[in-house]
Amino acid sequence: MTHDIASVYERRCRLLMRLAYPPRFREFRGAELLSTLLDLAEPGQRGPTMRESFDMLRAGLMLRLREHPPPWHWLLYRVFGARLPWRYRWWARDDIQGRFFVERQLGAIMLVWIMYLVWITSGLPSWAVLVMMGLTYLSARLSKAGLRRKWLAKHEFHPDGTSYHVRPRPGGEATERRPA
């Protein structure tokens, strides 16, 4: 495989990995998975095959489902800011560091409290409701960095997303155990 084709192949593999897998997986398994994909490449191949792409997308989806917190924990976390159980803290880290974190939080809060919000704003003109919503969104956006820092600390992560504790290597343990 020439250098150009190899780099095109590698770039496409990286793109596929970004689509298929969450950051926590790519961080700990990315280099290994990419090496295996490079080993699997036929001479002159410019990208992963359809079969390989589908396989990775499916595996990534299964991983996301497997590692997603149960509905009850998810709701407490999303609406009331509760800390997730230890085994879901890497999911929480990706969620907190992901795009539209503030929007996801506000959206879930509004959905849960919608009846109450409708009731307290029922006497107000629609422009006032819109201004209130806009101000709430703006203040949440402005305090995003602090909010992220606080939520990361709650799940025992530094502000840059690194863990307080060393994570066991993949393949060693399926779930991270809380240090004694």
Partner 1 sequence: MALREQSYLILLALSEGSLHGYGVIKAVRELSEGQVRLGAGTLYGALDRLAGDGLVIVAKEEVVSGRHRRYYELTGHGRQVLAAETTRLARLATTAQRRLSLQPGMGM
Of 37-45, 73-81, 86-94, 117-125, the segment contacting partner 1 by CB under 8 A is: 37-45
Are the CB atoms for 179 and 165 separated by under 8 Å? Answer: yes
Among 43, 123, 172, 179, binds partner 1 (CB under 8 A): 172
Q: Where would I find the beta strands (DSSP E) of 40-134?
A: none
Q: Give CA separation, 42 vs 37, 39, 165, in Å.
A: 10, 8, 40
x-or-dash string of contact with partner 1, 122-161, rule CB under 8 A:
----------------------------------------
Least spacing, CB of residue 37 vs partner 1, in Å: 6
To partner 1, the closest distance from the beta carbon of 132 in angstroms equals: 46
* Cβ-contact 41, 1 below 8 angstroms: yes
Single-letter code of the amino acid located at 52:
E
Q: Find, among 145, 151, 136, 42, the residue nearest to 94 by Cα.
A: 151
Residues that bind partner 1 (CB under 8 A): 20, 29, 31-40, 51-52, 55-60, 62-63, 169-175
